[in-house]
Structure 1
Amino acid sequence: MSDAFDLLVIGAGMAGTSAANKCAAQGWRVGIVDALPYGGTCALRGCDPKKILRRGAEIVDAARLMNDTGITEGGLRVDWPALMRRKRGFTDGVPKGMEDELTGNGATTFHGHAEFTGPNTLTIDGTTHHADRFLIATGATPRPLTFPGAAHLIDSTQFLDLDALPQRIVFIGGGFISFEFAHIAARAGAQCTIIDHGPRPLREFDPDLVELLTSRTEQAGIHVYRNTNVTAIEAAPAGFQISINTHGTTTRLDADLVVHGAGRVPALDGLHLDAAGIAGSLRGVTVAGHLQSTTNPAVYAAGDAADTAGRPLTPVAVFEGKVAASNMLKGTTTAPDYTGVPTTVFTIPELNRVGLLEEEAATSHNTAVRFTDTSNWYSTYRVAETTAAAKIIIDTDTDQILGAHLLGPGYSELINTFGIAIKLGLTTRQLKSTTATYPSLGSDLGSLL
């Protein structure tokens, strides 16, 4: 039809806006829709605002670590409302900025609820639109929890918008959200507890480094329960009472706030995928390697809403959106390259990973594992941190790095170098032949190999 879009994008987060801008800039008639403010989880309700709040926690923690080394901590504390205003100074301008970029490239922006009504039709708040192609980039949403009282939980979005920080906070789940938010809240003066149903939190990361981080987490005043299930949450005269079960023993915890940190799932409810013949699962829209739906060729998916080999990370969403756009524009079947993508848990200190875990590498490679306790190294001593370590996994046949795992202050920058090495296939000999500025964290690289 003459009024049809070349592309309609559902979701104005990083995957959706990347694709929409790329296709609109090439002259396609592009529409993009979101029921929430433009910007997506990362910019508005996740990575970026979280790290702004973390900055306050970093400063408090850094001062405490240096308290016996000539720095007087005094009355240093986090003013939560002021820190939240600082956060909003960034997030408040994001939606308009993103929408202005889209319209500047010629895209048509919509605000409202979208759902499929046919293979090539989508309604937005009751108005039907036709398109030759669609990109589903709706991101993820908190995993539904079904125990009694689950409705009392707040999610990560609500936590990042708290006007005041409660005194007693319980985080349910042992993943990114719980650990990062607990580290922030504890430095801001809250009493924090993490409840993990499994034996090891942060299961995608190196177990040895996770144990070190968990000990450091406890030292920061955050209690971590393992092998523990929440059985109920009840409203109490002052806050909430949480019933937990650990190896058959029931305990009750009191809290002023309970936060959902038990994982996220693709946000596909309400899209009516069946009406367009789009296959999906709990992992997202089912796509081929080049991000095209396996059941409706007019549909592509990217980011957390797609069932791909990529991790649910913002940089992955960005390049999946760009790859999907390129494949649609050119009619190609290029698959995204996920090699060398690092990921970080922004606790204090931060935990990082790129490449394979030790046990993964050992199944198909001859490996050498180089573990180094860096807690007494100069770069760690300088900032008075007490916990830092690295584990590098090397293919002994090729001298290439298979995996790098780092825990320490500022190591989220150093992990990027390992990501480049894995991406480009550099050998440890090549890495050790480089010279870094000194004294810097990067100058530790050669000694870790």
Structure 2
Amino acid sequence: MKNYDVFVIGSGMAGMNIANKCASKGLRVGITDKLPYGGTCALRGCDPKKIMLGPTEVKHLADNLHEKQISEVPAIYWQEAMKFKQDFVDAMPPKIEKSYEKNKIDTFHRSAKFISETQLQVGNETIEAGKIIIATGAKPRELEIPGEEYAMDSTDFLNFQFLPSSLLFIGGGYIAFEFAHMAARFGSKVTIVHKGRRPLENFDPFIVDQLTEATKQMGIQLVLNTNVTAIEKANGAFCVTGKGESGEKKWEAAQVINSAGRSPAIFDMDLEKANVAFGEKGVEVNEYLQSTTNPNVYAAGDAADTDGIPLTPVAVMEGHIVASNILKGNIKKPDYTAIPTVVFTLPTMASVGFSEEEAVKKGLNFKVNKDRVPDWFTAKRINEKTYAYKTLIEKETGKILGAHLIGPHAEEIINLFAMAIKAGFTSKDLKTIILTYPSSSSDVVYMV
């Protein structure tokens, strides 16, 4: 049996930060991951996705400026982009493992199962630890339909050596929209089938409407209020059956992608043997990210049931908090206010703070500023047809309660609103700050 002060299950951003921080303070630390070290963001999500989006950004800008300022739209190539992406991904796990070795962290490459409240089975090794951290992230949600085994997931999509000629995405969340936009610009025929009456339910409806229209203009077929009920093999492709208000309908696609959301990757760890309470949203934790039923266990990132959005920056923050609470006792609590989130479509959609619906439910007294502004200089200069905003301003104080954007550099502009909400800035504060011009960020003064 091997003994540790701290043992971390999962080597994504949360687990990595916990392991390195605890080891740097002299604790004996071990870490395991059944997948290559790096986690979803670095290897199977945000980073490789953003690399693959690079060529599509060039193409989108060229499409906008075609016959305005340039004469030719460049061709983009999936295979070449994939090779460029893979160079980044392949370099990450050994780099991370080297950092663990430097910090004298023992590394394992096996799944972990609980034996008791303080013991784990990791491959052939029995591990005992004073503190065990569950940071296993999330995985694609099961579809629970006939033919589910034929659907690939986001990881498979980012590893396609050849892009299928047609794709059907099951689910209308951010993964579906980001990958649908990417695939369409690389030349694939794309369909999104979503069970709800509107896609991207967690984002502002006014802003989502702008993205929906831009998506349709690209030639992407968006099917709403339809449940996918089966997937079948058909003529070297796949036939997808869906049922909506108008009855049953079928689509054919070269490949089907399950983008129907993600669930915590915790259900095969024998948590019951460790007296760790959990539910569909993850491990039940208290305000210090400690298991509510086993004080020896902490959880962070997508594996924990918290009020945080399942985003990499949130996992990083929670990792630092767990490490501090292990080292110094339970002294730190996560703060989930003003966390920005982005849908990396083109145009980009971003949000931070309260939605209008949330603000109403909380009984806040606020005003709404919103408009479509493709004639503003930020959009006009690059001939971008989609640019809109909605901001929520508290009437009594003038404080920014929420901001929702779509358009050029929305992923950057939203950070200004996040800082404003966090710092308690008012609309007057933002209007009187001197910002660079001409720049996208200078538009904030007209949005508040």
Category of TM-score, reference length = shorter chain: over 0.9
* Structure 1: distance between partners of 2:345 and 2:305: 28
2-side partners of 1:115 and 1:78: how far apart? 45
3-state SS of 2:302 partner: helix
The answer for the alignment partner of 1:239 in structure 2 is 237
Distance in 2 between residues matched to 1:169 and 1:78, nearest whole Å? 18
Distance (Å, rounded) in 2 between the aligned partners of 1:118 and 1:40:
26
Task: Describe the superposition over 1:225-252 as per-residue Cα deviations: whole angstroms up to 9, x where unpaired.
Answer: 0001111111011311111112142111
Residue 284 of structure 1 aligns with which residue?
Answer: 282
> Which of residues 248, 255, 261 is equivalent to 1:257?
255
Q: Give me the whole-angstrom Cα distance separating, in 2, the residues matched to 1:291 and 1:416.
A: 26
Aligned residues: 447
Contact 2:167 2:253 in 1 (8 A): yes
Aligned to 2:4: 5
Separation in structure 2 between the aligned mates of residue 374 and residue 415 of structure 1, nearest angstrom: 16
Structure 2: distance between partners of 1:409 and 1:191: 25
Q: Which amino acid aligns with 1:345?
A: V
RMSD: 1.0
The one-letter amino acid of 2:66's match is N
Q: Deviations over 1:256-297 (max 9, x none)?
A: 010010000000122110111100000000000110000000
3-state secondary structure, aligned to 1:103: helix
Name the structure 1 match of 2:22.
Answer: 23
Q: Which amino acid aligns with 1:381?
A: K
Task: Give secondary structure in 1 for the equivalent of 2:115.
Answer: strand
Letter in 2 for 1:149: G
Residue 320 of structure 1 aligns with an amino acid whose one-letter code is E
- Offset from partner CA, 1:55-99 (integer Å, 9 cap, x none): 11111111111112021225x222111000010111111111111
Aligned with residue 353 of structure 1, among 351, 354, 375: 351
Work out the CA distance in 2 between the residues paired with 1:330 and 1:319.
Answer: 16
Secondary structure at the aligned position of 1:240 is classed as: strand
Contact 2:76 2:186 (C-alpha < 8 Å) held by counterparts: yes
Whether 2:292 is the aligned partner of 1:294: answer yes
Question: Larger deviation: 237-246 or 20-29?
Answer: 237-246
Task: Map 1:356-375; keep pairs closer than 5 Å.
Answer: 356-363=354-361, 364-375=363-374
Structure-1 separation of matches of 2:410 and 2:45:
20
SS for the counterpart of 1:118 is coil
> What letter is aligned with 2:352?
V
SS, match of residue 243 in structure 1: strand
2-side partners of 1:72 and 1:109: how far apart?
54
Which of 180, 187, 190 does residue 188 from structure 2 map onto? 190
Aligned-pair identity in percent equals 47
Partner of 1:114: 112
Task: Give, in whole Å, the separation in 2 of the partners of 1:208 and 1:235.
Answer: 38
Q: Which letter maps to 1:277? A: N
Residue 325 of structure 2 corresponds to 327
Please name the residue that 1:413 is paired with: 412
Q: Deviations over 1:307-329 (max 9, x none)?
A: 01101000000000110110110
1:41-440 matched pairs, under 5 angstroms: 41-74=40-73, 76-363=74-361, 364-440=363-439
Structure 2: tracts of 5 or more residues without a match: none
**Residue identity in the other structure for 1:81:** Q
Counterpart amino acid of residue 268 in structure 1? I
- The whole-number CA distance in structure 1 between the counterparts of 2:20 and 2:397 is 41
- Please tell me the residue identity of whatever aligns with 2:240: I
Query: AA paired with 2:436?
Result: T
Q: Distance in 1 between matches of 2:96 and 2:198?
A: 39
Alpha-carbon deviations, 1:77-125, whole Å to 9, x = none? 2211100001011111111111111221221111111111011101111
In structure 1, stretches of 5+ residues that fail to align are: none
- 8 Å CA contact 2:324–2:331 kept in 1: the answer is no
3-state DSSP of counterpart to 2:382: coil
3-state SS of 1:81 partner: helix
Structure 1 stretches (4+) deviating beyond 2 angstroms? none
